[in-house]
Amino acid sequence: MKNWNAIAAGLIVLMVPMFMAAEGDGCAAALSESDAPDVSGVWDIVYDDKLDVTVTIGGATYTAELGPQGGSFTIEHDGNPFEFNLDCSRPEVVCPSEVWPQAVSITHKNPTYQHQMHVMLPTLTCDGTMKKADPATCGEGTDNPECKDICDGTLSVKEQEVFGVIGETGETFRVFLGASIATNGVNCALLGTSVADAELVTTSRRTTAWAATAIENGTIETVYSGACLWADDVTGDGNLEALVLGAQIKFQTGFTGTPTRR
């Protein structure tokens, strides 16, 4: 019989470098065996009424503010206007408030590693065929640094379990939202830097029932490549077009949470 706890621990070891970048008290606690607050249950999530957008293109950064359902906006780069379409109604575009719905279910599955949390969230899945990434277009410095498989077809959103970590002090958590599917430049697969971070309000750590009672100062960032969201039709400078296709687009919203069922 396979030792699934050992297998899971091995996979988490591979993920620790990503969690080292977490904010707050550090989500490198994935393999910590210290106590952590209980965050299990169903949480009611409330979002900000705006999306903050950041576009990075050719070393320049541009910002915009949209309503909670996104939309189109235009930037001017090197004297040329470019339109990006962040419309949340597009099936392949997952806005922050869609990544975390209004009711979120969180569980702890491994009593040895209490800092690990599992969250049921809408996640991008491939309705076509998965294929290997072209080594010439993936790797360090690209939108697919780990050369993950690419979806040759359409993407849809289905509820799946994703992994998160509570920081060592129990004051923060981070959940990585980027799926195992890499963008092909057309499909709007989330990049691996897509994350949800938040602070936890908890009962006293000295009690036998240390538990989270609120989520505060939460931030959800969903990140895409410029190619899949760029709506403009460039017929001019090919080098400029390449810069736009290589752009990264991040949109962010804040959230808070309260437990409704434990």
Strand partners, 158: 123
Burial class (CB in 10 A: 0-12, 13-18, 19+), 228: buried
Residue type, 175: V
Q: How many residues does the chain have?
A: 262
Q: How far apart are the first and last CA of the chain?
A: 32
Across the chain, which distance is largest between two alpha carbons, in Å? 66
- Give the pLDDT score at 203: 93
Q: How many CB atoms lie within 10 A of CB 96?
A: 26
Q: What is the 3-state secondary structure (H, E, C) of the chain?
A: CCCHHHHHHHHHHHHHHHHCCCCCCCCHHHHCCCCCCECCEEEEEEECCCEEEEEEECCEEEEEEECCCCCEEEEEECCEEEEEECCCCCCCCCCHHHHCCCEEEEECCCCCCCCEEEEEEEEEEECCEEECCCCCCCCCCCCCCCCCCEEECCEEEEEEEEEEEECCCCCEEEEECCCCCECCCCCCCCCCCCEEEEEEEECCCCCCCCEEEEEEEEEEEEEEEHHHHECCCCCCCHHHHHHHHCCEEEEEEEEEEEEEEC
Residue pLDDT tens, the chain, 262 long:
333 233 233 333 333 334 443 444 445 688 889 999 999 999 999 989 888 999 998 889 999 999 888 888 888 888 888 888 888 887 777 777 777 778 899 999 999 999 999 998 888 788 888 999 889 888 887 888 888 898 888 888 788 888 899 999 999 999 988 767 888 877 888 888 889 999 999 998 877 789 999 999 999 998 888 888 876 555 455 556 777 777 888 989 999 999 987 6
**C-beta separation of 221 from 252 below 8 A:** yes
Beta-carbon contacts of residue 129 (< 8 Å; ≥ 6 apart)? 151, 152, 153
- Give the pLDDT score at 179: 66
